[in-house]
Chain A
Amino acid sequence: MLDLGKYQSIGAALKDALDRFADEVCLIEADRERDKERLTYCNFRERAHPLAKALQDASFSAGDRASIIMTNQSKWLISAYAVFFAGGVLVPLDYKLTPDEQWQLLKHSGATVLITEYPIWRQLSASEGRASAKVQTVLVTEASPNADLAGAQRWEEFRGKGEPTFVARTRKDTACIVYSSGTGGRPKGCMMTHENYLEQCVALTSIYPFWPGVRYLSILPTNHAIDFMVGFFGPFTCGAAVVHLRTLRPEYVREAFPKYKITYVSLVPLVLKNLQKGLQARFDGLPAGRRKVFDALVAINKMLTKSRPQLGISRLLLKQVHEAFGGELRAIIVGGAFTEPRTLQFFYDLGIPVANGYGLTEAGTAITVNDLRPFRSDTVGKPLPGMEVRIVNVAGDGVGEVAVRSKTVMAGYLHDPELTAETIVDGWLMTGDLGKFDEHGHLQLSGRKKNMIVTEEGKNIYPEDIESVFEGLPVKEFCVFAANYVWPKRSMTGERLVLVLHLDTGQQFSNELRADINARNQRLLNYKRIHGVVLLEEDFPRTASLKIKRNVLAERLGKLDSSTAVLPL
């Protein structure tokens, strides 16, 4: 079992790993069919140390914040290590956000260094948000020789001479500021400590271990808590390798499994379902005789793997399926959103275990995970070692809010003690998710208490964050809600946002108004869009400071029949 007890920080644990596994391959980067880069831990250190030295030469020191906005690639991890080595705090941001959103979070985080890719910088530098952020040093990767750098420096040339000085941190210091949401409203910057990551890494690798020779395919964005842990910190502390693809086109992802003999991969439910669809279509296309044989083999596999996975047997029985995945796949880790049980079962029946779990950024990636002994598709598994999980405010059916206490729970939200106090109560993280434990200690989730949705792509969307796009709409007042928050249902899939309108006296829901809403909706990224409109003919309840009392309004709306109240756009 991995022992990180002697380390005080991510930087210290990684520094040691780079020495210990010097000759092992740590990174493989491919662009379509081309192998772009293959680094050993020793090569990795040779790339990262001059960067750390240059940062230190530029007065970057303990506690300073550096943000990375990049797609998944080797320079992401090299940069992150350099920041940790120099004692910095990492602010990993989603490269899919708009430039305005990225600047907003850069400003909120107080980052003074930004490390990004040139195409992203081209858009960022043209955005007005730049003026208000504190960023002093911008490093861009892969800029062409004649590129207009707009004040940035080339990452490849930002190299210091001589050895950098390792800057020690303590376990309680902030290691990363990770934004769980809040680009349009109240930024939720989770302050994750070094201890959070060290403890989570030990817990996760106790169930899904890494070792030299293991190859993890990194597809989820590395800024996401899951990929940061299982696509960087976890494999690196164990001497494993991470494979990056510069394109996520399904055909290249498919090819990567056999080409690189992938051991683990993390996917969001949307991608997993897509994979399932593709496989199902291939099975359905088999001639009747072969299909019969195939179905019989699946049935035998199901029987033999009832109590636990038997990878060797499954690979023999269902050879072609496993060869398509490279023949060495041990598990698919699925996260970011709720996955339908039938999808999980589909893969398990083929002998491909899906490590289904439950977590949130605030709790340091995963809270529960399916230990596959036996596999259960109807739950999100048992609490990881070191996690105390209890159900509070329990209703008649045994369902209540999931609360967590653990060394992996964040220190709090950056610049928001009020929200921190609401979220962490007496040391317990109130998740806002509803569930109950079954008699085997497995957690079953059944809905949300909070006004938010999680898409199948693993994106958390808070209604308050998208309301600004509807500002100025010619109506008396409006508000955005998660439909499940207004009309609770015992489900965590198919979640939708609705726009509630209170029209002016005599005003009709005209085609013109509908077109205006549609046009504004299109300005939002596709997964943030509203899916319907609810008309309410009464004033919204408000506080003395005129803020909408969302919970009271939701209660009123809840009395309406959702099947007729929500008008499609």
Chain B
Amino acid sequence: MRTLEQTTREVLDLATKHFQLPAGSLAPDDDFFKKLGIDSLQTLEMLSRLENHFGIELPDYEVQGVSDFKTLAGRIQSRL
């Protein structure tokens, strides 16, 4: 079983790869809308990638209003 810290790290690594950013450029508290300049649709695309990685289904309502990686990792963690 992963710890929340591990999950958060994996979320950051995947987002970094997904958006082709230099390693280490994202932090847990970063607001992904602002930091990545993405819209709600691009967020959904990122979620699909996270679902595949963690082998879970993350319903759309679970991520309503979530805009930072730490909270997102928490939502994923609760479904692992």
**Which of A's residues lie within 8 Å of B, judged by CB?**
32, 71, 95-96, 98, 117, 119-120, 246-251, 270-271, 274, 456-457, 522, 525-527, 529
Contacts and interface: CB of A to CB of B under 8 A. Distances in A.
Given A249-B47, A270-B39, A526-B40, A119 B67 contact: no
B64 A96 contact: yes
- Chain A CB count within 10 A is highest, among B31, B34, B61, for B61
Contacts of B57: 32
Interface of B: 31, 33-34, 39-41, 44-45, 47-48, 57, 59-62, 64-65, 67
A525 B65 contact: yes
14 contacts: A71-B61, A95-B64, A96-B64, A119-B61, A119-B62, A120-B61, A248-B60, A249-B45, A249-B47, A249-B48, A250-B41, A270-B40, A522-B31, A525-B65
B67 A526 contact: yes
Contacts of A529: 34
Nearest to B40: A457
B24 to A, nearest CB: 22
The B contact surface, by secondary structure, is helix
A270 B41 CA distance: 8
Given A250-B41, A250-B44, A96 B60 contact: no
A261 to B, nearest CB: 24
Contacts of A522: 31, 34, 67
A64 B11 CA distance: 46
A416 B22 CA distance: 53
B69 to A, nearest CB: 13
Given A96-B64, A249-B44, A456-B39, 4 more contacts: A32-B57, A95-B64, A249-B60, A250-B44
Nearest to A71: B61
A95 B60 CA distance: 11
Contacts of B40: 270, 457, 526-527
A250 B43 CA distance: 10
Contacts of A119: 59, 61-62
Nearest to B44: A249
Between B40, B45, B57, the greatest number of chain A beta carbons within 10 A of the residue's beta carbon is seen for B40
Nearest to B68: A522
Contacts of B67: 522, 526
Contacts of A251: 48
Given A522-B31, A522-B67, A117 B61 contact: yes
A250 B59 contact: no
Nearest to A569: B34
Contacts of B65: 96, 98, 525
Nearest to A120: B61
Nearest to A99: B65
Contacts of B41: 250, 270-271, 274
A543 B61 CA distance: 43
Contacts of A32: 57
Contact of A71 (B31, B45, B60): B60
A420 to B, nearest CB: 32
Nearest to A119: B61
Nearest to A96: B64
A249 B46 CA distance: 10
Nearest to A527: B40
B32 to A, nearest CB: 9
Nearest to B51: A249
Contacts of A95: 61, 64
Contacts of B34: 522, 526, 529
Nearest to B39: A270
A548 to B, nearest CB: 28
Contacts of B39: 270, 456-457
Contact of B60 (A247, A270, A527): A247
Nearest to B47: A249
Contacts of A271: 41
A249 B50 CA distance: 12
Nearest to B41: A274
The 3 closest A-B pairs by CB, nearest first: A526-B33, A119-B61, A249-B44
